Amino acid sequence: MDKRLLKQWILDIPTIKLMIDNYAVDIYKKNKIRALAVYEKEDLKNARYGKLKFIHFIEEEKWTTYKEEKWYPGSLNLLTFGIYCLENKIYKNKKIVKYINKKEKEIIDKKRNDKYTKEINTFKEFNKQVPEVPKNFYKFINRKVMNGYALYNNKNHQAYCTTCQNKFNIKKLKREEKITCPFCRKHLQALPIGHYSYYQEKYSCLIQKTPKNNLVLRYFLCIKTSSSSMSKENSCIAEVKRVFFDIETHETEIYIKETYKGSNYYGFIPKKYEKGTQNYWQQKDYWVQRGVLYTGNLKEIQEVPLKYIYNSKCTKNTIDFLQNNIQQSIKNLLQYPFIETYIKENRIDILEALGKCELIVPETKEPSKALKISRNLLKNLPKKIDDTYLLAKLQLINNSINALGETEMKYLNNYNLCNYEALKNVYEIINEKFDKVSRYLEKNDSTMSDYYDYLKNLKELHITINKKSAFPDNFWKAHDEVVVEYAKEKAKLKDIQNKEKEIKYKKIKEESIYKPLIINDLLIRLPESLEEIKIEGILQNNCVNGYVNRILDKQTNVLFGRKVSRPDIPYITIEIKDNRVLQARYKGNINCTAEDTKTIESYIASIKALGKQKNQAA
């Protein structure tokens, strides 16, 4: 759209319109452009004419709005003063607004669908990279993922394995007794045949290598149901999510199964393009993060970082941790190879703490270089990290301290004693060795947060922070004294500020044009003080107290309306700006009656008249 031509066109559109309602619209046409002009009545409610509020231009698939000498791109329904505001205010010609909004919405939806359809083909090509599922994968799910049951009949001395579907002889079994199948060696749970039903819902993860040398993690939803008759056992295995890992760039893309009922496409699409899946309970599987890892194709995928799971030194807890956080583990191992060291050492606590570090250098195998923490600090790590922020704390203090003793490490590892933010703030104020600070706090049975509060108050009170003030003999006594002193200083400062505000308001009141007048038994005046405004807010149950700063900045004016017979009792709270009533409310923010509104408007008219008389006299 050529805005110069549009501006010229605006001059031809009427700027004043004869009106019945407070708001009105008109539509104009010129060449291929349409213009929706919105008119608003002037200040007084009984005015006959309205001014042009804004103009909305439409040209095929382009939109723009001109309001108060500014341009606002976008369709009508995207503007804050657009469709939703207009539909509530316009009574005549409302169909015009709805028609324009409908047309614009149709164009936007068409563009969005065209883009979606175009990119679907790209998604299809991308997913063609995924190899076929290994032949024994479904057997793996049945044997390793799903629970197994031994359905027994003690009269016939036989049991049926739901995993391998073979029958075997038994002596006698009890309900929920544990037994091993002699054929598939699966651990089974004994249940009496003909007296049970079950529903299982589990996930299995399959890692594969794509032709483009990337990794794809595939999540399969496995559902198995059975009624009391074993002949009605049903199973369903469906792929619900794919996570692609780029080995070179470490980028991750998540694809989900598109099953939205209104979609014309059923396949895997990027998660950002999903449509309303949260409305259907079946789609909750999209957000699954855990699953039993398939191990049958390990030899075929040498690049998989999770090969360390099968290291003989790895404990079951380490393997469970990696498999339960498989997506994040692959991503971290691709980018930060040094993590291999801690996997081999079975340091699950360190793996959890790594996620809280502020900075990790990628593509670095040496832990101290990758984490920017000295070797001495890493060697002195506790055998078990309780505080997952410990590594982040070590990164923070590494610049000034290279060696920490066992006492300091123990102290740092206790989150309750030493939280990260407090530690950071303390060292912004003082420059002392950490061992001295930690021993001092341990001796005084205090935390780093308490110590930071003490130092912060010293700084606020402009007390010199030296060895004597930073490490008093009795910490808690000194702490309490400083807190009390700071509270006193704060109260004094507040009193001074309040007095300064009152002086400023007194000057504003003296210079104000809004003098007290009595009209129709209503006294309208300015508040005597800021304190009176606060009292008015409490008695009238409104938020006028929040207007104090705006009053002092001369952004608005607050006046009181009082009955002449009861001048000390609040009646109406009024806000006026540029001789225009913005709001006039009774107690509880109830709008004024028409009679009182006219009285307030008469007050403004009288103030204007007084101002003209003074100007003429001058």
The helix (H) or strand (E) run that includes residue 582 is strand 580-585
Over residues 451-479, the pLDDT tens digits come to 999 999 999 999 999 989 999 999 999 99
The DSSP code sequence of 519-549 is: ETTEEEE--SSHHHHHHHHHHHTSSGGGGHH
Q: What does each C-alpha distance from 516 to 192, 307, 560, 606 come to in angstroms?
A: 93, 85, 10, 11
Higher-confidence residue of 417 and 386: namely: 386
- In angstroms, rounded to a whole number, what is the distance separating the alpha carbons of residues 554 and 194? 84
Q: What percent of the chain has pLDDT over 70?
A: 86
Q: Rounded CA gap, 178 and 169, in Å? A: 15
- What pLDDT, on the 0 to 100 scale, is given for residue 284? 47
How is 381-394 classified by DSSP, letter by letter? --SS---TTHHHHH
Condensed to tens digits (0 to 9), the pLDDT of residues 347-382 reads: 999 988 888 887 898 888 889 999 988 888 888 888
Across 89-93, 180-184, 282-286, 492-496, least confident range: 282-286
Output the six-digit token pair for 22. Answer: 């407070």
Instruction: Give residue 559's pLDDT band: very low, low, confident or very high (50, 70, 90).
Output: very high
Residue 72 pLDDT exceeds 90: no
pLDDT number for residue 288: 64
Instruction: Give the C-alpha separation, 395 to 392, whole Å.
Output: 5
Task: Please determine, for residue 265, whether its predicted confidence score (pLDDT) is greater than 80.
Answer: no
Answer whether residue 546 shows pLDDT above 70.
Answer: yes
Q: What is the pLDDT of residues 130-149, one digit of tens each?
A: 889 998 899 899 888 998 88
Highest mean pLDDT among 246-260, 395-409, 481-495: 481-495
Per residue in 89-123, pLDDT tens? Answer: 666 677 777 777 787 888 877 877 777 777 777 77
Packing angle, helices 475-511 and 448-460, rounded to 10: 50
pLDDT tier for residue 83 given thresholds of 50, 70 and 90: low
Lowest mean pLDDT among 93-97, 507-511, 538-542, 578-582: 93-97
Residue 618 has pLDDT above 70, yes or no: no
Contacts for 456 with CB less than 8 Å, ≥ 6 apart: 425, 429
List Cα–Cα distances, 554 to 208, 445, 479, 500, 557, in angstroms: 69, 52, 43, 16, 7
Q: Is the pLDDT of residue 129 over 50?
A: yes
CB atoms within 10 A of CB 410: 15
Residue 30 amino acid letter: K
Q: Tell me if residue 414 falls in helix, strand or coil.
A: coil
| Per-residue b or e along 11-26, where b marks 16 or more CB atoms closer than 10 Å to that residue's CB | eeeeeebebeeebbbb
What SS3 state is found at 344? helix
Residue 283: the pLDDT is: 44
148 vs 136: CA distance, rounded Å: 18
Greater model confidence, 34 or 306 = 34
Q: What is the pLDDT of residue 399?
A: 59
Neighbours of 140 (CB within 10 A): 16
- Which is higher by pLDDT, 545 or 401? 545
Q: What is the mean pLDDT of the chain?
A: 82
Q: How many Cβ atoms from other residues are within 10 Å of residue 396's Cβ?
A: 17
Characterize 459-480 residue by residue with b for buried, 16 or more Cβ atoms within 10 angstroms of its Cβ, and e for exposed: eeeeeeeeeeebbbeebeebbe
Residue-level pLDDT at 281: 39
Backbone angles phi, psi at 277, to 5 degrees: -65, -25
The secondary structure of 172-223 as a DSSP string is: ---TT-EEE-TTT--EEEEEETTS--EEEEEEEEEEEE-TTS-EEEEEEEEE
